[in-house]
């Protein structure tokens, strides 16, 4: 009986929506992405987006914030930053994290539901950087050191 219960529980964990989501790859069209930022302003991914930055853990986000803040507004042109905060408790998000993000000089698109960003590729402990061209993914980069981001953005 215990073995069957364990097997059923394991199956349920494997059948989460994220398990069915296929990661985007080079050449794929970026699906519509609509998220609100730290000011609850809605955003949708547009054809003018050249870079999509995706952070799915706190350490990467914390390291990325000063790097993005150090970029000039023209350098941030065409760059969209998405942070997955779906695992953060709602109370912590509402009282501490989001108010702190309001101090940042750039928009942070907040994925409060993991299903909204399940298709985005990721590697543990790394920032995902998607180079976009005409609504399609031209390149996928994973940065362990986010300090390399300005050089990557300038290279294209």
DSSP-assigned states of every residue in 65-88: HHHHHTS-HHHHTTEEEEEE-TTS
Report how far apart the first and last C-alpha atoms of the chain are (Å, whole number): 58
Q: Once rounded to an integer, what is the mean pLDDT over residues 98-103?
A: 95
Whether the Cβ atoms of residue 82 and residue 53 lie closer than 8 Å to each other: yes
pLDDT tens, 67-81? 999 999 999 999 999
What is the average pLDDT score of the chain?
87
pLDDT of residue 155: 86
Phi and psi dihedrals of 68, rounded to 5?
A: -65, -40
Which domains, ranges and CATH numbers included, belong to the chain?
23-155 (3.40.30.10)
pTM, full prediction: 0.84
Residue 63, burial from CB neighbour count under 10 angstroms (0-12, 13-18, 19+):
middle
Residue 84 has pLDDT above 50, yes or no: yes
pLDDT of residue 13: 37
pLDDT band at 22 (very low <50, low <70, confident <90, very high): low
CA separation for the pair 56, 84 (Å, rounded):
5
Residue 21 has pLDDT above 80, yes or no: no
Residue 19 has pLDDT above 70, yes or no: no
CA separation for the pair 15, 127 (Å, rounded):
26
């Amino acid at each position: 009986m215990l073995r069957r219960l364990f097997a059923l529980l394991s199956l349920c964990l494997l059948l989460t929506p994220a398990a069915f989501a296929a990661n985007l790859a080079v050449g794929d069209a970026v699906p519509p992405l609509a998220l609100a930022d730290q000011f609850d302003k809605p955003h949708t991914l547009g054809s003018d987006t050249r870079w999509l930055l995706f952070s799915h853990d706190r350490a990467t986000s914390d390291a990325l914030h000063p790097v993005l803040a150090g970029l000039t507004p023209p350098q941030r042109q065409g760059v969209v930053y998405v942070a997955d905060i779906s695992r953060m408790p709602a109370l912590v998000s509402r009282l501490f994290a989001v108010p702190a993000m309001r101090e940042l000089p750039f928009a942070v698109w907040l994925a409060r539901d993991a299903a909204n960003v399940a298709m985005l590729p990721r590697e543990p402990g790394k920032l995902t950087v998607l180079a976009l061209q005409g609504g399609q993914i031209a390149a996928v980069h994973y940065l362990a050191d986010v300090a390399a981001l300005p050089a990557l953005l300038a290279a294209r």
